[in-house]
Structure 1
Amino acid sequence: MSSFRILSLAALVASPALAESHATPHDAGLTYGVRPAYLISQMEDGALKDKLQSCVAQAPKVSKFSIGHRGAPLMFPEHTEESNRAAAAMGAGILECDVTFTADKELVCRHAQNDLHTTTDIVATDLGQKCTTPFAPASGDQTATAECRTSDLTLAEFMTLKPKMDAADRSATTPEAYLGGTADWRTDLYVDNATLMTHARSIELFDSLGADFTPELKSPSVEMPFDGFSQQDYAQKLIDAYKDAGIDASRVWPQSFNLDDVLYWIEAEPEFGAQAVYLVEWTDGFDEQSADTWLQDFAALKEQGVNYLAPSMNMLLTVEENGDIGASAYALAAKEAGLDLIAWTLERSGPLKTGGGWYYQSVTEAIDRDGDYFEVLDVVAQDVGVIGVFSDWPATVTYYANCMGL
């Protein structure tokens, strides 16, 4: 581990020069940190471990195979400037803003329109009374509750909130206690003075960091149209922000779980629509090896102009007869139809010793150690052939991509 080149992420994240410069950061300023080396040390002995260990002396380089998922939220509050600066410092070549809207129809970066109660301090502020469901304390068998939406606030009000790690203490009897609950495999070390972002600010920041863009149009929690603001208005406003900023469409991969959004972009904004990403996820009854359970018609998607499909990680993996992790029939069929695949989300599950949780439910029996992150990554890269991987800690994917020449 000592042979790794270790730089201070905190210094890079706090650097005004990095935040404000409009030049692409030089590769020499990047860092893997210590985590890739730790994960390699936890792998079973074999050819993949040997290959990854052979790259310990390499200098980090930016890779578009490495996509920052909400920045680097394994340790930084998601969708903050600091989280994305950290992701860029780890070589993520593409960064994500999940896009939703405020009461005055301004676009901001949040994973969901209704997550302010777990990702900010709103319940402990005066604005908490404006929430769709203000905080109610735990009592008896009832857990603490709250639901706070960006659409409950104006942009000006939203920007007064303080971001935090995505968590809540459901046993809380006070709003202040409700702000706790951070998982023990995450940290609150980098919460202080974290900065919320508008969508426009994310474009400015990511461009200054030399990264490309993958904004996700989030499903509204409010009924649409919202005060005359239709779903198509919403989808168009996302694209207009990049046009207004002078960003070339070739640098933008707009995403949505709503196929209608993707088809709208293909029709109304064909340059952006050519790179629109249709997001899909594991649902009840899905079997990665049985086409009868698949909800997507890959040939039909291609005929409609969809070029990029982004399934959740569990949809792309299966356990082979010899007990190894392999590419699922679903993944291979999508590739055969000509769809480019993107995987999400590596390192979203914390320690893997108990099977990896939701993201790895198709291969739980083959997952029992943190080193399996690299085993999974190798399968989706080499056997599935994805073109990019979202990660909550992009250094892991960057290291792999650099080592493998992706």
Structure 2
Amino acid sequence: MLWILVASCTAWYVGAYESTDECRTFQSGDDVSLLQRRASQDSFSLEAPCEAPCLQRDSGTPGFIMERLFHEEAVSCPWQSPGQAPDEDCKRRLAHINELRDAIAQCERPLAFTERAIGHRGAPLVAPEESLASWQIGARSGAGYLECDASVTKDLELTCRHSNCDLDSTTDLVTNHPDLNAKCRVPFVPGSGMPATCCTFDFTMKELSRLCAIMENEVNKSATVASEYLIGFPGFRSNATGNVKCHKVESYAFYLKLLKKSGFHAIPELKDTWNSRTEDFLKSKGKNIYWLADKFANMLQTAGFKPWPQEGKKSHPGTLYGIMQTFDYRLAEHWKTTRPKMMVEYMWQVPPPEGANCSDGNGDYNGPSGPGGDCGGEKLLQHLNQLGVNMFSPPIRTLLASGPGRTIVPSATAKILKEMNVESIGSWSLERQGCSPKPDGPNAQPPTAALEASSLAPCWDPDAWYYSTTDGRSTWQHLDVLPILDALFKKVGIRSMFSDYPATVAAYANCVLDA
């Protein structure tokens, strides 16, 4: 194992660092600084020989994935005290991880283009989400599909923003554009103690194009000047494109043209249609969510993206596919009723309690005429499936559970989806969560004495949401990333995986799953 690892590190770091002595055993505490140094390195260079703007396949440098998968703490057993001899559960887990890492270490093209990997908002672990740079890095990381979250604008266009109303924390609107801040439905007011609320439908597409996308920031609602409003982004992320002066906020039309030109599949999501603010805005324009859904679908179809072939799951080389995503089951119903051949993926975040209707504050599901909202109840899934919706994508935690001997096994929901014989199961989002230095979430508890004293501190958060149904919680050290991918693809049967840094999924798919 060791000689393979050392040889692979030396080879894979060529071009990524000035020297190869970065290939070493990493200690917790130097992760953030190492990531920050990455910002000036050429493995994330955005220069491209193709006519700009464009995306490139098979052009990434695997050095960064080596940092995340090939160091000592990536194979720790978090339930054990430091220095404790591995128990049988730990031995099995380490053997499994090493088997997967060996396959990746010996792989010639870990970042080859693969439809298994989806760039969630591009690659926001290392670049501002939904920006050209984020999509470029996602493409170079092996992603076959790249995502745009389409949000409606004041002039009824669509822009790529993850939430309709997060412009204050994902762009430079508050800090650099006082004239636009004044147009926000809740502008930033120095010393008010209130955060700004700035929505895409407060602005025209032309106005939004003046903004620069930034890494998703925490905000200081008590700031006394605009320059103090943005606090910074989580330490497990890094802006690897810090030398770029401005990442322009892009339109949905630009995204479709970019992917079509560059040869990548599209998986856009129509955002926040169940949100009352969105519905109220559309009503003020004499429109509704179904009008917006039709516009969204027509643009995807007109751009030339195709549905999967009906005769089987295997895609046709040279054909670019388009998948429409929604958390709103009303839109899933609408699309499949009006455009039965187009591909629709229904997503949900919070399944209802056992025996209850779907409800997360947006309404209960009570049949096809029921209100919209985020809902993953079995009754609804079966209803949508009968309409022809055969692609479903819940979060990681909904598809996995802990089994005997600390193994990772399919959840009850995963078994339901397999029994329904759906065409595709996807999941989200790998690389979305990292270390937490303090309890984070409603169920968080103080760390055990063993974890507090271990080398994993401060990565001890027991409430890590994405991985909360499996042993080995979310940490920057990637404690369970490879076994989680192995369980999702081989046991659950997912077809593809969203990731904030799709190189990890691509390496697993190219070197293990499809090798």
TM-score calculated relative to the size of structure 2? 0.71
SS in 2 for 1:147: coil
Deviation at 1:235, TM superposition (A): 0.7
Mapping 1:354-393, distance limit 5 Å: 354-355=461-462, 357-363=464-470, 369-393=477-501
C-alpha separation in 1, matches of 2:347 and 2:184: 29
1:74 Cα shift? 0.5
Compared CA separation, residues 157 and 117, structure 1 to 2 (3 A): same
Whether the aligned pair in 2 keeps the contact of 1:6 and 1:32 (CA below 8 Å) is no
Counterpart of 1:276 in 2: which secondary structure?
A: strand
Deviations 1:305-341 (A, max 9, x none): 1100000111011111322222111111111111221
User: In 2, distance between residues paired with 1:204 and 1:286?
Assistant: 44
2:11 to 3, 24, 32: 3
2:408 aligned with 1:325: yes
Q: What's the counterpart of residue 378 of structure 2?
A: 296
Alignment of 1:185-334 (within 5 A): 185-191=236-242, 192-220=245-273, 221-222=277-278, 223=280, 224-250=282-308, 251-272=321-342, 275-283=343-351, 285=353, 295-297=377-379, 298-334=381-417
Q: 2:105 aligns with which of 56, 72, 75?
A: 56
Post-superposition shift, 1:6?
Answer: 5.5
> Could you tell me whether the CA contact under 8 Å between 1:118 and 1:167 is conserved in 2?
yes
- CA apart distance, 1:82: 0.5
Q: CA deviation at 1:386?
A: 0.3
User: Residue type matched to 2:482 in 1?
Assistant: F
Unmatched tracts of structure 1, length 5 or more: 288-292
Match of 1:290 in 2: none
Match of 1:76 among 127, 134, 145: 127
Residue type of the partner of 1:350? G
Q: Structure 1 residues 151-160 or 317-326, which shifts more?
A: 317-326
Whole-Å separation in 2 of the counterparts to 1:265 and 1:98? 17
**What are structure 2's unaligned runs of at least 5 residues?**
1-8, 17-40, 77-93, 309-320, 356-374, 436-458
Mapped partners of 1:395, 1:295: distance in 2: 32
- Kept in 1: contact 2:117–2:497 (CA 8 A): yes
Contact 1:67 1:390 in 2 (8 A): yes
The range that moved more, 4-13 or 294-303, is 4-13
Q: 1:137, 1:145 within 8 Å by CA — same for their partners in 2? A: no
- Change in CA separation of 1:356 and 1:67 when aligned onto 2, cut-off 3 Å: farther
How many Å separate the matches in 2 of 1:356 and 1:376? 17
Q: For the Cα contact (< 8 Å) 1:19–1:205, is it kept in 2?
A: no
> Within 5 Å, which residues of 2 pair with 1:81-230?
81-124=132-175, 125=177, 126-138=179-191, 142=193, 144-170=194-220, 171-191=222-242, 192-220=245-273, 221-222=277-278, 223=280, 224-230=282-288
- Equivalenced residue count is 394
In the alignment, is the contact (CA less than 8 A) between 1:312 and 1:345 conserved in 2? yes
Q: Which structure 2 residues correspond to residues 390-401 of structure 1 after superposition, within 5 A?
A: 390-401=498-509
Instruction: Give me the CA root mean square deviation.
Output: 2.5
Range that drifts further, 32-41 or 209-218: 32-41
Q: CA deviation at 1:271?
A: 2.1
Distance 1:104 1:49 in 2: 53
- SS of 2:298's partner is helix
Report the 3-state secondary structure (helix = DSSP H, G, I; strand = E; otherwise coil) of the residue aligned with 1:3.
helix
CA distance in 2, matches of 1:392, 1:310: 16
Which structure: larger Rg?
2
The code of the aligned residue for 2:146 comes to L
Match of 1:254, SS state, is strand
SS of the aligned residue for 2:323 comes to coil
Report the secondary structure of 1:55's partner residue.
Answer: helix
Once the 2 structures are TM-superposed, how far is the Cα of residue 299 of structure 1 from its aligned partner? 3.1
Q: Residue type matched to 2:237 in 1?
A: R
